[in-house]
Structure 1
Amino acid sequence: MASNFQIVMFPWFAVGHMTPFLHFSNKLAEKGYSITFLLPNKAQKQLQHFNLHPHLITFHPLTIPHVDGLPDGAETASDVPISLNHLLVIALDRTRDQVEAIIKAKRPKIVFNDMAHWLPQITRPLGIKTIHYSAVCAAGIAIALVPARSFDKEKPLTEAELAVPPEGYPSNTVVLRSHEARALSFISLPFGEGINFFERITTSMNESDGLAIRTCREIEGTFCDYIAGQYNKKVLLTGPVLPEPTKISLEERWANWLGQFPPHSVVFCSFGSQYILEKDQFQELLLGFELTGLPFFIALKPPNGGGSTVEEAFPEGFEERIKGRGVVWGRWVQQLLILEHPSVGCFVNHCGFGSMWESLMSDCQIVLVPHLGDQILNTRLMADELKVAVEVEREENGWFSKESLCKAIKSAMEKDSEVGNIIRKNHAKSKETLVSPGFMTGYIDKFVQDMQELVMI
C-alpha cells in the first residue's frame, strides 16, 4: 500500500522545523512512502544532504513572495532576525496558491504541516487528511498552546497569567518563572496578517484530522495525554526521529585539537543556527567559560554589535589568556560528531528541541542556557521534570553572570558534585531507554499503522 500512498510535507521555513520534517520523511521513505517536500528554493541546498531517499523524497521549491519589511531574497528564518519572523510567515501564507496547485496535482493521502493553519481548507474538500506535526516538546505545547489557555485577542495575556499553568496541566515541576513567562509572551503577538501565534497554532491543531508530535511516551507521556484530551484528537507519536549516523569523519583540525585533552574533560557550547547574542552577553559567556579553568570549544555566531567575526568581540586579553585550552569558532561545526568525541564531557546548549534530543543521546553532562519560549519549556522538562540537566541561574533581567555559568558547568562536571551525579544517573537511564533495541523503529512502525488507520476513517 505504501507505494500508492503519497504524502506532502509543508514545514515552517526554519531549519529547526524543516530538518526534523526531513528526518521524519526519511523514516517514512524507508517504509516505501513517496513524499513531496515543499520548501523555499534556497533551502534545497541546505537540506539535500539530509535526503537519504531522493528517489522517494522529492523537493518541490516554492517561490517565496516578497513582503514589505523583509530583506530582499529572504526565504528562511536564518535570513532574518527573530523580530521579523511575523513577516516571514506572511510570505508563507502567500504561497497558498502554489501549495494548493501542488496538492491538487499530487492528490496525496495526507499533508503534514505545522504553521499553515489554512491547509485543512484546501485538503478537506478533496478528501485529503491533514496532520499537524509538532517538532517541539509536548510539555511546551501543553502549557502554552491548548484551548484551556484562555486567550482574549484584544487583551494579551500578562506575564503573571502566562506563568500560571492552564487548567489540568499534568505537572507541578514544569512551571514558568517571571522572566520565562516574558519570553513566552510572543504567543500573543501578531504572527501573520490578522492573526497571532496562539491562534495560528491552535487553529491548525483544531482543524487538522490528527496531531503528531516528535516525542515518546517514556519522556512526555502525560503531556501527550493532556494534549489529546484538550483537542479531543488522537496524538500520534513519531519518537525522537534522530538523523542516521553519518559516515563522515570529524574535521581533522577539530579531531586533533580535541584529541590532546583527557576523556570527558572538554566543555562544548553551541546555541543553534538562529539565535545571536548581544555583545555584552557574548562576552559574559566567554568569561564564564574562562572562569571554569576547563578546556572548552564554543561554536557561536558573531554577536550583535561586535563586528563581523567572533574575534572582534572578544573581551580584552581573552585570546591570550585561553590560548591552548579554548576555541571560539564563529561558523558551522559538526555538532553531533563533536559530541561523540571521547574528550567532550559536557554540552552547554540552548535546549532547542533538536539539541535536546542530541544531548540526551550523548554521554555528555548537560548544561542549559535557553533563550526563546520553546527552549525555556524544553529546559523545564529537562532540568525540573526529568532531572537530566543543570540550568544556568538567571538574574531578574533574564540574563546570567559569568559566575552563574561557571557554577552550573562545575556542578555538572565535578566528580564529587551531588547535582552532577544525579543528572548523570538520570541521563544514563534515559539514554538506555532511547537506545534500547527496537525502540526507534517501534515508534515508526506504530506511527505508520496509526496513519493508515486515520486515512481509512
Structure 2
Amino acid sequence: MASLKTSELHFAMFPWFAFGHMTPFLHLSNKLAKKGHKVSFLLPRGAQSTMEPLSLNQDHIHFFPLDIPQVDGLPPGTETASDVPVYNHTHLCTAMDQTQHQVQAILIFLNPDISFLRFQLLGSSLGPPSRHQVRLLRGGVRGGSCHKANAVAEFGSGLTLYDRLTTGMKECDAIAMRTCPEIEGPFCDFISQQYAKPVLLTGTLLSETQVAPLEDRWAMWLNNFKPSSVVFCALGSQIALDKSQFQELLLGFELAQLPFLVVLKPPQGCATIEEALPEGFLERVCGRGVVYGGWVPQLSLLKHPSVGCFVSHCGFGSMWESLINDCQIVLVPYLGDQVINARLMVEEMKVAVEVERPENGWVSKENLSKAIESVMDDSEVATLLRSNHATWKDIVLSQDMEGGYFDSFIQNLQSLLVNC
C-alpha cells in the first residue's frame, strides 16, 4: 500500500455556472488554501471579476476562465444562471457541456490530485487528468425524492438533471457534502449505501470573509425601526417571477402590516421593478416598505438588529446564513433543491415555517401574510421556533463544526490517494 500523502495537494474546482454554486466552491477553496493546498478554479470568464474578491489566498488559489460558447436558446453573452430565467438553464447546461475540450485541456495541463465537480460532463468523465473525482453534492436527490418537474425534464444536451447527478455519483471516487451528521446524518448514510461510495462531510463551509458594513442607505433606513421588527425578503439571483405572482407577493408584505425590505429580480417581461409594482403600492407603503431589484449584502442585512424575519427561497447558502443569525424564518422554495432544504428546516430541524400553497405553487397574499404573522408574534409556535433556532445556531457555530469536521474532511481526501 502506498504511503499516505500529507504534503500539499492540488485541487481543481469546476462548479455549475451559478453564483450560488460557485460561491460555496470558493469557500471550500479558501479553507483548503488556508491549510496550504493549491486550488485551480474553473469558471466563466465574465464571472471571474465577481469571484476574485472572495478569494482569501491569491498565492494558492488560481482562476482559469472559460469562454462560454453561444448556443441556441441563450441570449448573446450569457455566462451564468443569473443572466437568464430558470427555464433557460437547460441551454446554459448545454453551453457548459460544450466547454468540455477547454476543461480537459486545462486539467491535462494542471494534472490536479483531485477534482471537485458539480455536474457530469456529457461524453467525458474528465479523466484521467486528475487521479480522483469528488462530486460536491447539494440537494436534488435527497432520499431519492428528486423534485419531479426538474428531474425528468431535459437539462442540457440530451440528459435530465437526475441523469447528470446520478451518473456523476456512480462514476466518481467519493461524494462530498456541505453538511454534518447532526443535521443530515441519516441522509449521508443513505447516499453512501445507495452508491457504495464514501461520503465526505465538509462541515458548514461558512464564509471566512468579514461581514461588510452596511451601506448608509440601508443602515439609515433600518435604523428607523424597532429591533426585530423588519421583514427582509430575498429569493436569490435565479428566481424571476411572473408579474402576477410578483405583485401578489408584494401585496402579501403590505398585508402583514410590518416594515419590509424586499429584494427581487424584475418579473418576466419587465425591465425594471418600478414598472411592475401594483397600482398605488408605493403610496400605501411609503415609509415602511422598500422593493429593490439590485444586489444587497444579505448576510450584513440579516445581522442588523432591526431585521426580525427572513423570507427566503431556501437556497443552500441562504439556509446556512439564516441559521447563524437570529431572524425568524419563512420559506418560499421554488426549485427542487430549495424544496428539499425547506423540508429539512421545517420538518426535521423545526426552525422555520413554509408558506402554504396549492399544487400549482401559487403564493397568495393571504398565505404569505399569515406565515409572516405566525412567526413574528408571541405565540407558542413562534416561541418554539426561536428556541429551536437558538439551539441549532449554537451547534452550527461550534468549533467542532467549523474546524473538526473540515480537518477530518482533508484527512479523508488524503486517504483517497493512498492507492493511487
- Shared fold by TM > 0.5? yes
Q: Give the direction of change, closer, same or farther, for the CA distance of 1:118–1:30 in structure 2 (3 Å limit).
A: farther
Q: How does 1:255-334 map to 2 (within 5 A)?
A: 255-305=219-269, 307-334=270-297
Aligned match for 1:424, one of 386, 403, 407? 386
- CA spacing shift, 1:62–1:410, aligned 2, 3 Å: same
Q: Unaligned regions of 5+ residues in structure 2, if any?
A: none
Q: What's the secondary structure of 2:417's corresponding residue? A: helix
Paired residues of 2:135 and 2:169 also in contact (CA < 8 A): yes
SS in structure 2 at match of 1:92: helix
Cα 1:118/1:29, change in 2 over 3 Å: farther
Give the equivalent residue in structure 2 for 1:205.
169
Alpha-carbon distance between aligned partners in 2 of 1:46 and 1:6, rounded to the nearest angstrom = 23
The CA distance in 2 between the partners of 1:264 and 1:407, in whole Å, is 18
In structure 2, the partner of 1:141 is: 141
1:106 aligns with 2:116: no
One-letter amino acid of the counterpart of residue 66, structure 1:
Q
Counterparts of 2:126 and 2:364 in 1: how far apart (Å)?
50
TM-score (norm 1): 0.88
Identity of aligned residues (%): 54
Cα distance in 2 for partners of 1:439, 1:143 equals 23
Q: 1:316 to 1:53 in 2, by over 3 A?
A: same
CA deviation vs aligned residue, 1:244-285 (integer Å, no higher than 9, x gap): 242531001110110111111111000001101111111111
**The one of 33, 36, 43 aligned to 2:40:** 36
CA distance in 2, matches of 1:184, 1:51: 36
Cα deviation 1:288-341 (Å, max 9, x = unaligned): 111111111111111123x32212211111111111111111111111000000
Residue 3 of structure 1: CA displacement? 5.7
Query: Which of 168, 190, 204 is 1:226 aligned to?
Result: 190
Indicate the SS of the match to 2:190: helix
How far does the alpha carbon of each residue in 1:191-239 deviate from its partner, in whole angstroms, 9 at most, with x for none?
2223221111111101000100111111111100000000011100111
Q: What CA distance in whole angstroms lies between the structure 2 residues aligned with 1:367 and 1:449?
A: 37
Q: CA RMSD in A?
A: 1.6
* Counterpart among 84, 87, 96 of residue 91 in structure 2: 87
Is 2:190 the counterpart of 1:186?
A: no
> Would the aligned equivalents of 2:122 and 2:157 in 1 still touch at CA under 8 Å?
no
Q: Give 1:344's aligned residue.
A: 307
Residues in 2 aligned to 1:119 and 1:233: alpha-carbon distance in whole angstroms: 22
Which residue identity is paired with 1:434? Answer: V
SS of equivalent to 2:399: coil
1:132 to 129, 132, 135: 135
Q: Distance in 1 between matches of 2:350 and 2:201?
A: 23
Cα distance change of structure 1 residues 119 and 5 upon mapping to structure 2, 3 Å threshold: farther
| 2:61 is the alignment partner of 1:57 | yes
Which of these residues, 175, 179, 200, is aligned with residue 215 of structure 1?
179
Task: Quote how far apart the aligned CAs of 1:357 are.
Answer: 0.7
In structure 2, C-alpha distance between the alignment counterparts of 1:301 and 1:3, rounded to whole Å? 46
CA separation in 2, counterparts of 1:102 and 1:119? 17
TM-score under structure 2 length normalisation: 0.95
CA distance in 1, matches of 2:79, 2:181: 35
By how many angstroms is 1:397 displaced? 2.0
Distance across 1 between alignment mates of 2:175 and 2:314? 23
Q: Which amino acid aligns with 1:142?
A: R
SS at match of 2:78: coil
Q: Which residue of 1 aligns with 2:367?
A: 404
Who is 2:377 aligned against?
414
Contact (CA 8 Å) 2:234, 2:264: kept in 1 or not?
yes
Which residue in 2 is equivalent to 1:365?
Answer: 328
SS at structure 2 position matched to 1:377: helix
Cα distance in 1 between the residues matched to 2:287 and 2:172: 54
Q: Is the 8 A contact 1:184 1:372 kept in 2?
A: no
Q: Residue type of the partner of 1:387?
A: K
Indicate the SS of the match to 1:253: helix
Gap change, CA 1:247 and 1:367, over 3 Å in 2: closer
| Shift in Å, 1:118 | 5.5
Shift of residue 408, structure 1, vs aligned partner? 0.3
State the 1:127 CA deviation: 6.4
Question: In the aligned structure 2, how far is the partner of 1:6 from the partner of 1:324?
Answer: 53
> In the alignment, which residue of structure 2 is the partner of 1:152?
none
**1:26 maps to what in 2?**
30
Unaligned runs of 5+ in 1: 145-164, 166-180
Asked whether the equivalents of residues 253 and 260 of structure 2 are also in contact (C-alpha less than 8 Å), the reply is yes
Matched residues in 2 for 1:385 and 1:450: separation? Answer: 28
Structure 1 CA distance, aligned partners of 2:400 and 2:348?
Answer: 25
